[in-house]
Amino acid sequence: MNHSLANLHPNPGWDAAHAPIGKHCILELYNCSASKLNDEAFLRSTITQAVHQAGATLLHLISHRFDPQGITGLALLAESHLSIHTWPESGYAAVDVFTCGDHTMPELACQELVVALDAREHSLRSFLRDTPAELGTQEREPA
């Protein structure tokens, strides 16, 4: 049997002829562990694990620790990106996960972050990014 990625998509129901370009998740984390939000090594490890959980491919990970507190991390993915910005003093983190294609599950990356950062509350908004009309009519093959 010949399988395509569309046949294996974790969210069947995407119309292959009008498939979206990908999925975008916006995650707000509240009442998180302040020490975890301010631990750059921990966040880098957690981001890497979240990318793995989503089934995405990590190309590059950069992070920056602010003085006196807070961290920004950005994972460049073959499929797009994952970013996190933390405010340890408020127990808050803002996360953005966008993955192209139909083989990844960015919600699983978000779930990993909720648990790892001990978020007592969170808000997740997820939406499909529409394929531009000019891309929808072209046959696209992996490089």
Tell me which of 24, 25, 32, 100 is the catalytic residue: 100
Q: 3-state DSSP: the chain helix, strand, coil percent, rounded to 5?
A: 30, 35, 35
**Dihedrals phi, psi of 107, to nearest 5 degrees:** -60, -30
Q: Is there a catalytic annotation at residue 83?
A: no
Which of the following is catalytic: 24, 25, 32, 80? 80
Tokens of 25: 């998740």
Give the active site residue among 9, 52, 81, 85. Answer: 85
Residues in the chain: 143
Query: Active-site residue 25, yes or no?
Result: no
- DSSP type of residue 12: B
Catalytic residue positions? 80, 85, 100
